Amino acid sequence: MSRRIVVRVPATTANLGPGFDVLGLALDLWNEVAFTVEEEAAGAPGRWEAVNEGFGAAHLPTDAAHLALRAFRAVFERLGRPLPARVYLHARNAIPVASGLGSSAAAVVAGVLAANAALGEPMAVPALLALATALEGHPDNVVPALLGGLTAAWMGQGGAPQALALPLAPAWQDRAWLAVAVPQVALRTVEARRALPAQVPHADAVFNLSRLAVLLEALRLGREDWLAEGVEDRLHQPYRWPLLPGAEAVRRAALEAGAVAVALSGAGPGVVAFAPQMDDATPVADAMVAAWREQGVAARGWALRPAMTGAQV
């Protein structure tokens, strides 16, 4: 006997400038992952297979090493349940891999939600969040992928990840005002983290606190005139922008095309530009892609709405 479980998970952009390792926003760009699960228990994976379409199809694992299958297995092991004899995964990946748009968080969330569904949903959201964070390494992309919308994530005093849904102006919830562009350059998260200093000046920490307050109010109230200052940051972007070829030209192109603010998406190499005065920020996305292409770097762009709902089973 087999069961088919389909999970849709949104892309996410983390940090949003000053909210380093804290803020995240779900985007209306979705991976769809279908799991076909053989109910018979085997005690260890028999044939666990993965088929990938879309981004990453040429190099993502096709066996039990696939991140979504590893996350699926982790739920069974956490609960002490016998493993299914066979799990067949079919992933349709609309989220670029290693792009700063939360592709790994999407895979982890898909796996834990599918396994939880296969077992009759014994794990509540806090437990799923804790396991997904342990697998992913940090919660800033996991939380918006699970919950949708604008979120804050942090590690609580007991070491468990915590999540908070933050308000986003209603007028900014249903328009494609976020322009995202991803260049075809290699920038691994571990490399981007290695570029960060171990310590920062007190003044830089205060600077980020002030900008974070401005950004959150801009997003809550729909104040586009506050966004340019709101996305300013001294904790990570000054060290990461130089790792990205043509970054200054891309930022300038976005602003000239109508964006009011530009930030790295997560650790990069993706870039997110804010154009809330537009119903469709495609011209901004196109301008960023063109700026990269002028420098010999291939890129893809999207105009996206926030995804106000998270992963769906």
CATH number of the domain within which 141 lies: 3.30.230.10
Name the nearest CA neighbour of 84 among 195, 1, 174, 158.
1
Residue 313 lies in a domain: no
Q: Supply the pLDDT for residue 237.
A: 96
Residues 162 and 228 reside in one and the same domain: no
Domain C-terminal end among 134, 166, 198: 166
**Is residue 311 domain-resident?**
no
Domain that holds residue 296: 170-304
Which of 121, 149, 166 is the endpoint of a domain? 166
Angle CA 114–115–119, to nearest 5: 120
Q: What pLDDT score was predicted for residue 17?
A: 98
Same domain, 181 and 275: yes
Of 117, 133, 166, the one marking the end of a domain is 166
- Tell me the CATH number at 231: 3.30.70.890
| Total number of domains in the chain | 2
CB within 8 Å of 89: residues ≥ 6 apart:
33, 34, 35, 36, 48, 49, 50, 51, 66, 68, 69, 72
The reply to whether 101 falls in a domain is yes
Whose CA is closest to 8, among 183, 148, 138? Answer: 148
Q: 148 with 217, same domain?
A: no
Q: Give the pLDDT confidence score for residue 41 in this predicted structure.
A: 57
- Does residue 310 sit within a domain? no
pLDDT (tens, 9 = 90+) of the chain, 313 residues, equals 789 999 999 999 999 999 999 999 999 999 999 999 987 655 555 789 999 999 999 999 999 999 999 999 999 999 999 999 999 999 999 999 999 999 999 999 999 999 999 999 999 999 999 999 999 999 999 999 999 999 999 999 888 999 999 999 999 999 999 999 999 998 777 777 889 999 999 999 999 999 999 999 999 999 999 999 999 999 999 999 999 999 999 999 999 999 999 999 999 999 999 999 999 999 999 999 999 999 999 999 999 999 999 999 9
Strands 86-93 and 47-54: parallel
Residues 255 and 275: their CA atoms lie apart, in Å, by: 9
Q: How long, in residues, is the chain?
A: 313
